[in-house]
């Protein structure tokens, strides 16, 4: 079940429930996963294995400085295979806090280089704006936005970030992740930090991004990220269904096992064939078996195609 230090961390998080309720916040022992863009920002791939998020535990919903936020322990499983081709999932997790933005902003990652384990989606590297310390690296698609956002006032607030705190602006939210425990005081500190960052966003930056530039949608599962990320290929939904990992319900998250083994029956991906050139139907299954290591037509539109022209908008 839990290793020693992880079990202790879980106990520490659960012990904070009275603190959360005393602050007027809402506590959840378990909760469904958040929006797919938040999941991918925090848990995309672990040791080259894709991660299927399954739920959250020790979750707090509250408000700081008039800004609603959610914080908690996001859990998923990294899909792998043994030498005997038996599929399995290894448990991975991260502490995340997020709050909605009042208007759209272009996608940006401000990466804490002191963070030891980072399984979030990477974006193309941008030049480090003047005045930002070596603790940080900046990733995104619109370099002028990063330069305009990172004013001296914004940077001064950024430099007050708690330890292990990568910041992401994406899909209408600002979030941070990386705290090793995620107890209620840490969630509160990070929520206040995010609210302070939002207050420092220059007025000219708001409302400058359409859905694609703002980070709506997720990348194809086996597509490379970082500098190789193709913005126009971002999908409106995931292109895999967990290969059996989806059988783990969010209600099970507080007791999530460290590893699960998947049967051959489990790992079959079931899809409704979108067109004649989709993968062939398997008799008796009532769906389509998909080889995720190859390219299959699943009928999933890209965000760019829904905006028209299948081209990324100009920066």
State the pLDDT at residue 50: 95
Instruction: Over range 33-58, report the average pLDDT.
Output: 96
Give pLDDT tens digits for 243-266.
899 989 999 999 999 999 998 888
Domain that holds residue 79: 4-233
Q: Residue for token digits 């933005």?
A: 101
Does position 294 have pLDDT exceeding 60, yes or no? no
- Residue 313 pLDDT class (50, 70, 90 cuts): low
| Dist. CA 27–CA 18, nearest whole Å | 9
Residue 79 lies in a domain: yes
Q: Is the pLDDT of residue 285 over 50?
A: no
Residue 12 lies in a domain: yes
Residue 293 phi, psi dihedral angles, 5° rounding: -85, -10
294 belongs to a structural domain: no
The pLDDT value given to residue 36 = 97
Higher pLDDT, 8 or 38: 38
Higher pLDDT, 145 or 297: 145
pLDDT > 90? residue 296:
no
Q: Is residue 117 part of a domain?
A: yes
Band of the pLDDT at 14, cuts 50, 70, 90?
very high
Q: Does residue 217 belong to any structural domain of this protein?
A: yes
Domain presence at residue 75: yes
**Is residue 208 within 8 Å of 237, Cβ to Cβ?**
no
d(CA 67, CA 87): 42
Q: What single string gives the DSSP state of each residue in 13-25? A: HHTTHHHHHHTT-
Q: Beta-strand (E) ranges in the chain?
A: 26-31, 45-46, 49-64, 67-81, 87-100, 108-112, 125-126, 136-140, 166-170, 173-177, 259-262
Q: How many domains does the chain have?
A: 1
Question: What is the pLDDT at residue 310?
Answer: 55
pLDDT of residue 243: 87
Q: Assess whether pLDDT exceeds 80 at residue 304.
A: yes
Query: How far, in Å, CA of 131 to CA of 4, rounded?
Result: 41
Residue 116 has pLDDT above 90, yes or no: no
In a domain, 312, yes or no: no
Q: Give the model's pLDDT for residue 289.
A: 47
Mean pLDDT of 20-24: 97
pLDDT at 275 over 50: no
State yes or no: pLDDT of 128 exceeds 60.
yes
Residue 262 included in any domain: no
**Using 50, 70 and 90 to split pLDDT, how confident is the model at 19?**
very high
């Amino acid at each position: 079940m839990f290793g020693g230090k992880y079990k202790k961390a879980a106990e520490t998080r659960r012990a904070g429930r009275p603190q959360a309720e005393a602050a007027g916040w809402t506590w959840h022992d378990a909760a469904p996963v958040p929006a797919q863009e938040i999941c991918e920002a925090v848990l995309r791939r672990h040791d080259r294995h894709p991660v299927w998020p399954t739920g959250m535990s020790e979750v707090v919903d509250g408000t700081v400085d008039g800004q609603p936020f959610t914080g908690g322990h996001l859990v998923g499983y990294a899909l792998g295979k043994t030498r005997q081709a038996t599929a399995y999932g290894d448990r991975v997790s991260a502490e995340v806090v997020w709050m909605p933005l009042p208007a759209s902003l272009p996608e940006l990652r401000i990466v804490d280089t002191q963070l030891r384990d980072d399984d979030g989606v990477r974006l193309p590297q941008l030049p480090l704006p003047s005045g930002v310390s070596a603790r940080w690296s900046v990733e995104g698609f619109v370099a002028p936005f990063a330069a305009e956002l990172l004013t001296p006032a914004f940077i001064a607030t950024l430099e007050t970030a708690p330890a292990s705190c990568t910041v992401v602006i994406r899909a209408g939210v600002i979030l941070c992740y990386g705290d090793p425990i995620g107890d209620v005081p840490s969630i509160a500190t990070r929520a206040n930090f995010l609210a302070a960052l939002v207050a420092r966003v220059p007025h000219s930056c708001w409302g400058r991004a359409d859905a694609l530039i703002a980070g709506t949608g997720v990348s194809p599962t086996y597509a490379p990220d970082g500098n190789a990320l193709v913005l126009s290929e971002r999908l409106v939904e995931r292109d895999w269904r967990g290969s059996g990992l989806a059988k783990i319900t969010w209600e099970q998250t507080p007791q999530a096992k460290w590893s699960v083994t998947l049967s051959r029956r489990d790992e079959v991906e079931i899809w409704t064939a979108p067109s004649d050139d989709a993968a062939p139907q398997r008799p008796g299954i009532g769906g389509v078996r998909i080889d995720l290591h190859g390219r299959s037509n699943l009928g999933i539109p890209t965000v760019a195609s829904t905006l028209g022209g299948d081209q990324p908008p100009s920066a």
